[in-house]
Each structure stands twice: as structure tokens, then as C-alpha cells.
């Protein structure tokens, strides 16, 4: 069968830097890296927690220097995503990580936006850009970046909140989210991955997010689960990421089946696929293999992703029809 048509809603574009591209960009920009080759770099992707990943993540990100670098990185992701069944992608980028290296906002935003501008026509994936703020940096810095983005009329659909979660509750960024919402931007935030269920509550009630990234620890709070189910709040779950960062011990221990059984609005995403062992099709294959998800359950995950995306009615209906056609074809193939 062809891959499941879906939307990718939890994807950090800097996390798509494959070792070969890291080395190619380093060579193009005359950067000396602290590892010998692609195999040496890949061997460093044995993470023990979120911080150990972030240390490597920010080191490899240093190869991104020019607008063309950002464009090439984004195109590489889109081409791979197309083979995985992705039909719509809402891509997050961390501008503060680039500004700290002296890369202008116009360079990183412009480079990614250039690739996204032609993604539908040339690759078959509709796209939008979400600017994610680093929660372990001051909220005042995020606010300054947001004002700069608004002043330059950046082609973004929303804002997010990522990086090290523990010790940095969502409420620290309440004013940033108020300004973004007033400007017409959609709001998402990482919560409930390393942080406790209380962070999910804050993301809902203080930041008033439209969508939650991760959220797997919601199961620790019955009232929270009831709230998420009642409001159909989207949860963008990243199974291979959770395993690689030790949020869960193994894929067989992932809470996805329980989340589905409880009626939570869950989709499967890849997070930082170059670092966590797989793109969205790899993540889907992992959970299908671990939990024996059938055609209907897989189709539900695809439909959840599309209903949770920031899409217009026409495009949403078009993609939901693709998922339904995939579901019907899957049953027909089994009967045949």
C-alpha cells in the first residue's frame, strides 16, 4: 500500500539536518566540525535525555549560515516527507538559536520561506511556518523577536514554545502569546513531555493554545484527560522521539494506545527525524508494528492530523478524502 496521507504538525526544521547534509554545508561554508565523518556524527545521536540531544542539536545547527543553507535544508525535508505520505506540513523553526549565532532574522526566515513558497506546486505538500520560541531563554527575548517578525510581516501562521521543558512553565510566556493572538497568529506549545500535567493545564488556560505538542503525561491527570477529550484538543505525539529521549523506555511502552482508547485527539509526527531515528512513516510503522494498529486506526491517525492542522476548509476536505480513499483501498487489498 502507499503511505498513509497525513499532515505533519510537529516538525522542527533544524531537526531534519541529516549527517551528510551537515557535512556538505560545513564544507560549503568553510566550517571545521568536531567529528570525522557522517558515521562519527551519527554515532553521537545516542541521547540520554532532552538536554543531551539539545547539545548536539545546537552544535550541528552552526552549519546553517546563508539563506541558501536554510532553503536547502527545508527542501531536503520536504522531498523526504513526500515519500512518507505527508500532504501538508506545519514546520517549526527556532530563530533565537540562529540570532544567537549572528544569523539575521531575515536570513533564516527567508531561507525557509523560499522553500515553502513552492512546496505545493513542486513537491505536492502544502505548508506553513510556525516560529517556536526557546522556553529556556527569557520571555522578553521572545517578545522582541515576535515584534521583529510582525514588523517585517514574516510569512508565519503561528508561534510555538520548545526546547528544555523542565523548570520553564508555559505561564512565563503569557504576554508573548497574548500579543501573538492579537496579531491573528495561531498558538501551539510543547507541554507534558518532560514537564508535568500542570504544564499542560497552563498551556491550555494561560497560553490558550490551539494545539499541544507532545502531551503524553496528560494521562497522569484524570481531570486533564477529560478536559482534552471534551475540547478535542489536538496532541501531536512523536513516538520515536519519546523513546530516543527516554521519556518512555521502549516503543512497546508508549502511551499512544491508551491515548487513543481514551478518545484523545492524537496524531503521529516525527519531531526531529534526523536525530530520533525516523520520519513520519517510520514513526507510523513503529506504532503499527508495536501495537498492531489496523487500517481504520491508522486512517483515524491520518484524519486526526488533518483535522488538527491550520488549514482552509477546501484543502482540509481534499486531504480527508485522500485518507478515506486510502482506508477503502486498504480494506479492498486485504479482501483481495
CB 181 within 8 A of CB 187: yes
Rg of the chain over Cα atoms, rounded to whole angstroms, equals: 19
Q: What angle do CA 156, 74, 283 make, to 5 degrees?
A: 100
Write out the H or E segment, with its range, that includes residue 224.
Answer: helix 222-231
What pLDDT score does 336 carry?
A: 63
CB 213 within 8 A of CB 244: no
Q: How many CB atoms lie within 10 A of CB 55?
A: 11
Distances (CA, A) of 87 to 60, 90, 274, 278, 300: 28, 10, 20, 17, 15
What pLDDT score does 1 carry?
A: 86
Q: Could you give the domains of the chain?
A: 6-335 (3.20.20.140)
Collapsing DSSP states into helix, strand and coil, what is residue 200?
Answer: helix
What pLDDT score does 222 carry?
A: 98
Distances (CA, A) of 160 to 39, 41, 152, 237: 32, 28, 19, 15
Report the interhelical angle of 139-151 vs 174-182 (nearest 10°).
10
> What is the DSSP-derived secondary structure letter of residue 271?
B
For the sheet containing 265-268, what is the strand order? Answer: 6-12, 86-93, 126-134, 158-162, 186-191, 211-214, 234-237, 265-268
What pLDDT score does 328 carry?
A: 97
Who contacts 322 (Cβ-Cβ below 8 Å, separation ≥6)?
A: 5, 87
C-alpha closest to that of 186 among 164, 207, 217: 207
- By annotation, the residues acting in catalysis are 193
**pTM as predicted:** 0.96
C-alpha closest to that of 4 among 295, 259, 315: 295
What pLDDT score does 125 carry?
A: 98
CB 241 within 8 A of CB 219: no
Q: Which three cell numbers stand for residue 151?
A: 514588523
Report the interhelical angle of 197-205 vs 222-231 (nearest 10°).
40
What pLDDT score does 56 carry?
A: 83
Burial class (CB in 10 A: 0-12, 13-18, 19+), 46: exposed
Distances (CA, A) of 230 to 113, 128, 265, 267, 304: 36, 27, 10, 17, 15
Residue 42 to residue 36: CA distance in whole angstroms:
11
C-alpha closest to that of 93 among 143, 148, 162: 162
Region for residue 28 given its phi and psi (left: phi exceeds 0; alpha: psi -120 to 50; beta: otherwise)? alpha
Walk along the chain (336 residues) and give the pLDDT tens digit of each residue.
899 999 999 999 999 999 999 999 999 999 988 887 888 888 888 787 878 787 888 889 999 999 999 999 999 999 999 999 999 999 999 999 999 999 999 999 999 999 999 999 999 999 999 999 999 999 999 999 999 999 999 999 999 999 989 999 999 999 999 999 999 999 999 999 999 999 999 999 999 999 999 999 999 999 999 999 999 999 999 999 999 988 999 999 999 999 999 999 999 999 999 999 899 999 999 999 999 999 999 999 999 999 999 999 999 999 999 999 999 999 998 876
Amino acid at each position: 500500500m502507499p503511505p498513509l496521507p497525513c499532515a505533519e504538525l510537529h516538525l522542527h526544521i533544524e531537526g531534519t539536518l541529516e549527517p551528510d547534509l551537515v557535512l556538505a554545508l560545513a564544507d560549503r561554508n568553510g566550517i571545521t566540525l568536531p567529528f570525522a565523518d557522517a558515521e562519527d556524527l551519527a554515532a553521537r545521536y545516542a541521547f540520554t535525555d532532552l538536554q543531551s540531544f539539545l547539545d548536539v542539536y545546537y552544535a550541528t545547527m552552526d552549519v546553517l549560515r546563508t539563506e541558501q543553507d536554510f532553503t536547502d535544508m527545508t527542501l531536503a525535508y520536504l522531498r523526504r516527507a513526500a515519500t512518507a505520505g505527508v500532504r501538508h506540513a506545519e514546520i517549526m523553526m527556532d530563530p533565537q538559536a540562529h540570532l544567537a549565532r549572528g544569523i539575521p532574522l531575515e536570513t533564516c526566515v527567508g531561507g525557509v520561506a523560499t522553500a515553502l513558497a513552492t512546496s505545493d506546486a513542486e513537491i505536492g505538500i502544502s505548508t506553513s511556518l510556525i516560529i517556536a520560541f526557546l522556553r529556556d531563554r527569557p520571555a522578553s527575548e521572545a517578545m522582541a523577536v515576535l515584534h521583529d517578525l510582525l514588523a517585517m510581516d514574516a510569512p508565519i501562521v503561528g508561534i510555538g514554545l520548545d526546547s528544555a521543558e523542565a523548570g520553564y512553565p508555559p505561564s512565563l510566556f503569557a504576554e508573548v502569546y497574548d500579543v501573538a493572538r492579537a496579531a491573528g497568529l495561531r498558538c501551539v506549545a510543547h507541554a507534558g513531555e518532560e514537564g508535568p500535567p500542570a504544564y499542560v493545564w497552563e498551556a491550555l488556560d494561560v497560553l490558550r493554545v490551539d494545539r499541544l505538542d507532545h502531551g503524553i503525561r496528560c494521562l497522569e491527570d484524570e481531570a486533564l484527560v477529560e478536559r482534552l477529550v471534551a475540547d478535542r484538543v489536538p496532541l501531536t505525539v512523536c513516538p520515536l522521539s519519546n523513546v530516543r529521549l527516554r521519556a518512555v523506555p521502549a516503543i512497546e511502552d508508549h502511551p499512544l494506545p491508551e491515548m487513543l482508547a481514551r478518545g484523545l485527539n492524537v496524531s503521529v509526527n516525527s519531531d526531529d527525524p534526523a536525530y530520533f531515528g525516523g520520519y513520519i512513516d517510520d514513526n507510523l510503522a513503529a506504532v503499527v508494528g508495536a501495537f498492531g494498529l489496523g487500517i481504520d486506526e491508522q486512517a483515524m491517525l491520518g484524519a486526526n492530523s488533518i483535522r488538527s492542522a491550520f488549514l482552509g476548509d477546501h484543502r482540509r476536505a481534499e486531504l480527508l478524502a485522500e485518507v478515506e480513499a486510502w482506508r477503502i483501498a486498504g480494506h479492498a487489498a486485504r479482501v483481495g
